[in-house]
């Protein structure tokens, strides 16, 4: 693919950023900027958005395998770092497509497929690590349920975006600091940070169960809101 001058890529990126409405703090202030840098460098060397998606998938798969197959207490932290790196490339592929003005349904579909597979597999990997290291069965069950929850949430979001008018699907228009912090537990980076603590069983069990409860509560609220919106159509 055609290589772009760095200055041109930077100009194209700055004029094609997504809005900050409803974006968690880490994604807004850390992951998107890092992804933007990767996207610019990818444009300079002639990479494609799908290639960045493939890198994101590979890093995510490596992180999941490190967590699922290892037993050393430091391995989950390595797996979490790999997942975070994949998250950067997950943000970079869309930004590269906007830099190149080549976005389309196929690329968006591929990006969503990778996200939809990776999200539950992280918790499946956690369940595998917990089972292999002799953790309480109740915590293994929480991890298994967490994988189902994130899959259901992902599907709910996709269907809402398809079925609801764009304004209704977008929800509250609050791009401020408080909203970004409130939404932060929903961001994958929070899950990865907690997963990195698998080597500290008591701390991990407390934070992971709390995170699951938060996701379950917010998912229930989200489902109720979306159902009311759909009933009103």
196 alpha carbon, distance to own chain's centre: 16
Tokens of 206: 């407390």
- The predicted structure's pLDDT at residue 173: 53
Domain annotation covers residue 22: yes
Percent share of the chain, pLDDT over 70? 96
- The predicted structure's pLDDT at residue 1: 81
CATH code of residue 52: 1.20.120.1760
| Domain total of the chain | 1
CA angle 198, 218, 192 (to 5 degrees): 25
- The predicted structure's pLDDT at residue 223: 96
Q: Please say if the pLDDT value at position 233 is more than 60.
A: yes
Domain annotation covers residue 225: yes
- The predicted structure's pLDDT at residue 174: 54
Percent share of the chain, pLDDT over 90? 85
Range of the domain at 186: 6-231
How many Å apart are CA 9 and CA 180, to the nearest integer? 28
Average pLDDT over residues 45-58: 97
- Cβ contact 20:28 at 8 Å: yes
Domain annotation covers residue 107: yes
Tokens of 12: 């194209």
How many Å apart are CA 224 and CA 226, to the nearest integer? 6
Domain annotation covers residue 157: yes
Tokens of 165: 């008018």
- Tens of pLDDT, residue by residue over 127-172, are 999 999 999 999 999 999 999 999 999 999 999 988 988 655 555 4
Rounded to the nearest 10°, the torsion over CA 126, 157, 35, 57 is: 50
Q: Please say if the pLDDT value at position 74 is more than 90.
A: yes
H, E, C per residue of the chain: CCCCCHHHHHHHHHCCCCCCCCCCHHHHHHHHHHHHHHHHHHHHHCCCHHHHHHHHHHHHHHHHHHHHHCCCCCHHHHHHHHHHHHHHHHHHHHHHHHHHCCCCHHHHHHHHHHHHHHHHHHHHHHHHHHHHCCCCHHHHHHHHHHHHHHHHHHHHHHHHHHHCCHHHHHCCCCCCHHHHHHCHHHCHHHHHHHHCCCCCHHHHHHHHHHHHHHHHHHHHHHHHHHHHHHHCC
- Tens of pLDDT, residue by residue over 92-113, are 999 999 999 988 899 999 999 9
Q: Please say if the pLDDT value at position 15 is more than 90.
A: no
| 186 SS3 class | helix
| Banded pLDDT at 19 (limits 50, 70, 90) | confident
- The predicted structure's pLDDT at residue 17: 80
Domain annotation covers residue 191: yes
Tokens of 210: 């709390």
- Cβ contact 146:215 at 8 Å: yes
- Tens of pLDDT, residue by residue over 162-215, are 898 865 555 545 557 888 999 999 999 999 999 999 999 999 999 999 999 999
Domain annotation covers residue 196: yes
Give this prediction's pTM: 0.94
Domain annotation covers residue 167: yes
Q: Please say if the pLDDT value at position 218 is more than 80.
A: yes
- The predicted structure's pLDDT at residue 167: 57
| Banded pLDDT at 40 (limits 50, 70, 90) | very high
| Banded pLDDT at 89 (limits 50, 70, 90) | very high
- Cβ contact 147:121 at 8 Å: yes
Domain annotation covers residue 1: no
């Amino acid at each position: 693919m055609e290589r772009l001058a760095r200055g041109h890529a930077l100009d194209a990126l700055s004029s094609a950023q997504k809005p900050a409405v409803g974006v968690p703090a880490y994604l807004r202030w850390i992951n998107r900027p890092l992804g933007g840098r990767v996207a610019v460098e990818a444009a300079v060397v002639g990479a494609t958005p799908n290639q960045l998606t493939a890198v994101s998938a590979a890093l995510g798969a490596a992180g999941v395998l490190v967590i699922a197959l290892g037993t050393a207490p430091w391995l989950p932290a390595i797996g979490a770092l790999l997942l975070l790196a994949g998250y950067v490339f997950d943000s970079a592929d869309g930004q590269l497509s906007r830099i190149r003005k080549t976005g389309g349904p196929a690329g968006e579909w591929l990006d969503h497929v990778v996200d939809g597979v990776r999200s539950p597999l992280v918790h499946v990997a956690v369940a595998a690590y917990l089972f292999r290291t002799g953790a309480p069965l109740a915590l293994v069950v929480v991890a298994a349920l967490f994988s189902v929850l994130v899959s259901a949430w992902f599907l709910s979001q996709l269907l809402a975006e398809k079925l609801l008018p764009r304004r209704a699907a977008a929800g509250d228009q609050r791009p401020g600091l408080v909203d970004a912090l409130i939404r932060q537990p929903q961001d994958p980076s929070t899950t990865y940070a907690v997963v990195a603590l698998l080597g500290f069983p008591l701390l991990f069990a407390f934070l992971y169960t709390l995170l699951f409860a938060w996701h379950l509560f917010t998912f229930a609220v989200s489902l109720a809101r979306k159902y009311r919106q759909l009933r009103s159509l």
